[in-house]
Structure 1
Amino acid sequence: MASDFAGSMILDTALSVSGLTDYLRLLLENDEQLRQVWIVGEVSSANNHRSGLFFTLQDPDGTAAIKCVVWSGQIAKLAQLPVAGEQIIVLGSIRLYPQRGEYQLTVWQALPAGLGLQALRYQQLKNRLLAEGLFDPQRKRSLPIHPQTIAVVTSPTAAAWGDIQKTLKHRYPGLQVLFSPATVQGEQAPESIVKAIARVERDGRAQVLILSRGGGAVEELACFNDERVVRAVADCSIPVVTGIGHQRDESLVDLVADVCVHTPTAAAETVVPSLAELYNLHRQRVAALHEVLLYSQTSAENDLQRLRQRLLNLRLDKQLQQEAQKLTWQRQQLLQLTLGRSQQAKQHLQLLREKLISLDPKAVLQRGYAVVRQENGAIARTAAELAVGDELLIQLSQGEVKVKVI
């Protein structure tokens, strides 16, 4: 009887399988941490299905594993597709399935882990800055041809600073170099570089800026992909030349800089010309100018000689002599013609003078004639025109007299 009673008590308190799984489901699905959880692991298997992508995520040492699913409508939104053997980071929520007695992670997003995650962040930032136009070639500024003052941002302990100093001194002695030290590796590097660039801008003397570092591992160059550093270079008021020291990949700072080279030495060679090369170019130009002038002089002398020969062939002296003789003959003809016409004019003038003298009324009066005028001034031509008592004016060759007709 006691055993039957005990069995009855156990049966009354025992949970069904569904009751237990429901309890566990409520515990898992209502847990705030498990509703949205990030999990990193290695994909051990992956199978595509019409309803979705099913895969298993496990720790690299194989001590634990969890089944995962990405439903078909979510696959296109994944940044990284789960592939067997690769490490990924997934975001999802825990779901429990009572029929199978299993729990599973419903995945919403998958990202590459480790270096893959860094590459993804790099690409996302690059795309965003590219959309803003920070990498456009039109933004690139030309470097000054002969800068008098340049600024250098790098670590004071790095070999890059020594290489830059040596190169600048060798290529362009007398150049003023402003050094703005910065940490170029580690977590503090981005802020340090931004402050170093700001110091250069506040100073206001530099005409171009070199941002440099002497190479290193990819992770050591992460500061040059930091958004703060990229924007500081993009917003800099003077042209920026980068010489980060890595050959394979361009950093975001390289893409936004006005000029990008691969070494600190190349950066120093880019910002200033070589005085020795300039002197050689000057000598070459002087030699070329001398040759041009010599050629021009020789060519001019040859042209002058050809013109002299043409003058001799044309016998211009003889032509000039003939023209002079022709002008002399024409002058003589013109003088003769002028004299002849002048003589004719004098003779004609004399005839006119004599005719005028003969027609002059005074000359007639001098011969004893007189002019009789009536009171109205009219000349009396006949006696019939006169009456007794008329007063007349008689003009003689010398003087006038008044008479009265009686």
Structure 2
Amino acid sequence: MTSFTDIPSTLTPLSVAGLTDYIQELLEQDYQLRQIWVMGEVSDLRHHASGLFFTLQDPQATATLRCVIWRSQVPRLLELPTTGTLITLLGQIRLYPQRGSYQLVVWQSIPVGEGLNALRYRQLRDRLQLEGLFDAERKRPLPPHPQIVGVVTSDQAAAWGDIQRTLRQRYPGLRVLLSPTQVQGTAAPTAIATALARLGQEGRAEVIILARGGGSAEDLACFNDERVVRAIATCPIPVITGIGHERDESLADLVADWAAHTPTAAAAQAVPSLNDLLAQHRDRTVALSQAMQTKLAIAQVQYATHLERLQRLPIERQLQQNQQRQQWQQQRLTAAIAQRLQQAQTHQATLAQKLAALNPEQVLQRGYALVRQASGALVRTTADLKVGDRVTLQLGQGSAIAQITHLSQTDSSQETDT
């Protein structure tokens, strides 16, 4: 292994500025790079006071090229670049020393048509919209006071720290469940869908925040993936998205139950502010106290008014009014007593009729008799008798003694000879 002492003295280390100057000279002195035509799809377009900044993306690969059109050159363009268009640019490759990166300084632009990525995005959006995934009717309300909030983001990203800080400041004591995932790259869509499904199956969270900080259009492309959109649509828990910056909008934002501009705004939307709740409580307390004071003041005024009117009435008139009121109440009481008495008499007569109908002596008067054993028990079937028994016959008038000489039994009744 070569040690540092073995390095030839002729290999003098370069400074960062020296290396950057060397690379800059190589790039900017290259004949082919001093005037070059490049075709690609425009993305991440930003307007700035000094000009237009955007990314030129290869539709068939992941390669990208940073581009700039200085403000003085903008009026000379045949057409301004727009996000999602396929365009051919003429310019020169220049190095940006402060960042150590190269970019294309654009002189002219010629539009080609709609870019492949923009076409794919539009087709997917139209198809999902026809399915109704973006309809306002399917969006669920957020819980007003959640106790457990789920978060789907990278545990290494700044967005996770922003969300924790915002939730802690707004709603102390809240439980937060992190379902970590990738939020950038080709594996991100599957990872995000899995993280959402994990929280949905667990079922403890009352609302879920899907978040990622800002980035280029290429960095945020995973949130336009159909797998992520359908994972949000099928999640049994309401989902709030906080993806990128205010200017960014993804298909995930369109399908979510609530879309915030940033991760911090998503966290603020997920829970109420404890300070706001305390202020609202104080306002309600003050409003209730004022309402009670107003009611009391009105009641006091009414009492004073009635008392004054009562004091103005002559004593004879007051007595007359009291007598009339007493007579009216007496009449009502007499009528009510008479009505209750009539109802009681009618009810008594009905009960007397029913009692008479159930009196066994009335049955005996119609020619029937009661048969009793020597013990006095009623005879109901021939099974209660045997030949030779003496029985008492109770008639409508008087009674008689008989002796059982013969017992007979039929299918429908029992007969006894005495």
TM-score (ref. length: structure 1): 0.52
Q: Compared with structure 1, are the counterparts of its residues 253 and 319 closer, same or farther at alpha carbon in structure 2 (3 Å cutoff)?
A: same
Deviations 1:274-333 (A, max 9, x none): 111101110110011000100100110001101111112232x22144678999xxxxxx
> What is the CA distance between 1:119 and its match in structure 2?
1.1
1:84-123 deviation line (CA, Å, top 9, x unaligned): 9589xxxxxxxxxxxxxxxxxxxxxxx957xx22111110
Give 2:233's aligned residue.
Answer: 234
1:144 alignment partner in structure 2: 143
2:304 aligned with 1:305? yes
Alpha-carbon separation, structure 1, partners of 2:229 and 2:163: 22
Q: Aligned partners of 1:229, 1:325: CA distance in 2, in Å?
A: 85
Tell whether 2:206 aligns with 1:203: no
Alignment of 1:293-332 (within 5 A): 293-315=292-314, 317-321=315-319
**Contact 2:220 2:244 survives alignment (8 Å):** no
Question: Do 1:112 and 1:120's aligned partners in 2 also have CA atoms closer than 8 Å?
Answer: no
Quote the residue 2:169 is aligned against.
Answer: 170
| Aligned partner of residue 181 in structure 1, secondary structure | coil
* Contact 2:189–2:225 (8 Å) recurs in 1: yes
Report deviation, 1:245.
2.1
Cα 1:314–1:212 change in 2 (3 A) is same
* Distance change (3 Å), C-alpha of 1:204 and 1:321: closer
**1:141-182 deviation digits (Å, cap 9, x = unpaired):** 000011111100001111000000011111111111100000
CA contact (8 A) 2:211 2:241 kept: yes
Alignment of 1:70-149 (within 5 A): 112=113, 116-149=115-148
Please state how far the C-alpha of 1:83 moved relative to its aligned partner: 9.8
Aligned residues: 224
**Percent of pairs with identical residues:** 55
SS at match of 2:134: coil
Corresponding residue number in structure 1 for 2:104: none
Partners of 1:229 and 1:179 lie apart in 2 by 17
Match of 2:156 in 1: 157
> What is the CA–CA distance in structure 1 between the aligned matches of 2:187 and 2:322, rounded to whole Å?
101
The 8 Å contact of residues 242 and 261 in structure 2, kept in 1 or not, is answered as: yes
TM-score of the two chains, using structure 2 as the length reference: 0.50
CA distance in 1, matches of 2:284, 2:258: 29
Structure 1 residues 123 and 303: CA distance shift in structure 2, 3 A: same
Q: C-alpha separation between the residues in 2 aligned to 1:84 and 1:228?
A: 29
Assess if the C-alpha contact under 8 Å between 1:214 and 1:244 holds in 2: yes
Structure 1 residues 295, 171: CA separation in 2 closer, same or farther (over 3 Å shift)?
A: same
- For structure 1, the 5+ residue unaligned runs are 1-39, 43-81, 88-110, 328-406
Aligned match of 1:280: 279
* Higher helix residue share: 1
Listed one character per residue, the Cα deviations across residues 327-350 of structure 1 (whole Å, up to 9, x for unaligned) are 9xxxxxxxxxxxxxxxxxxxxxxx
Q: For the structure 1 residues 170 and 305, does the alpha-carbon distance in structure 2 shift closer, same or farther, using more than 3 Å as the test?
A: same
Alignment of structure 1 residues 36-51 onto 2, 5 Å: none
- Asked if the contact 1:154–1:213 (Cα under 8 Å) also holds between the matched residues in 2, the reply is yes
The AA in structure 2 aligned to 1:177 is V
- The CA distance in 2 between the partners of 1:272 and 1:310, in whole Å, is 57
Structure 2 residue aligned with 1:266: 265
| Residue aligned with 2:179, SS | strand
Matches of 1:326 and 1:128 in 2, distance apart? 83
The answer on 1:191 being equivalent to 2:190 is yes
**3-state DSSP of counterpart to 2:220:** helix
Give, in whole Å, the separation in 2 of the partners of 1:325 and 1:231: 82
Residue 258 of structure 1 deviates from its aligned partner by 0.2
1:257 equivalent in structure 2: 256
Q: Which residue identity does 1:256 align to in structure 2? A: V
How far 1:203 moved relative to its partner? 1.3
Looking at structure 2, the residues matched to 188 and 224 of structure 1 have their Cα atoms a distance apart, in angstroms, of 12
Instruction: Report the CA distance between 1:184 and its aligned residue.
Output: 0.2
2:220 aligned residue: 221
Q: Distance in 1 between matches of 2:252 and 2:291?
A: 47
| Equivalent-residue separation in structure 1 for 2:86 and 2:203 (angstroms) | 54
Q: Which residue of 2 aligns with 1:182?
A: 181
Distance 1:294 1:257 in 2: 47
Distance 1:318 1:208, change over 3 A: same
Specify the SS of the correspondent of 2:177. strand
Q: Deviation digits for residues 26-58 of structure 1, max 9, x if unmatched?
A: xxxxxxxxxxxxxx979xxxxxxxxxxxxxxxx
Q: Determine the C-alpha separation between the residues in 1 that align with 2:241 and 2:87.
A: 40
Give, in whole Å, the separation in 1 of the partners of 2:323 and 2:225.
Answer: 98
Aligned to 2:219, the other structure's residue is in SS state helix
Structure 2 unmatched ranges of 5 or more: 1-37, 41-84, 91-111, 326-418
Looking at structure 1, the residues matched to 273 and 156 of structure 2 have their Cα atoms a distance apart, in angstroms, of: 26
What's the secondary structure of 1:287's corresponding residue?
helix
| 2:166 aligned partner, one-letter code | T
CA apart distance, 1:246: 2.4
Q: Aligned with 1:219: secondary structure?
A: coil
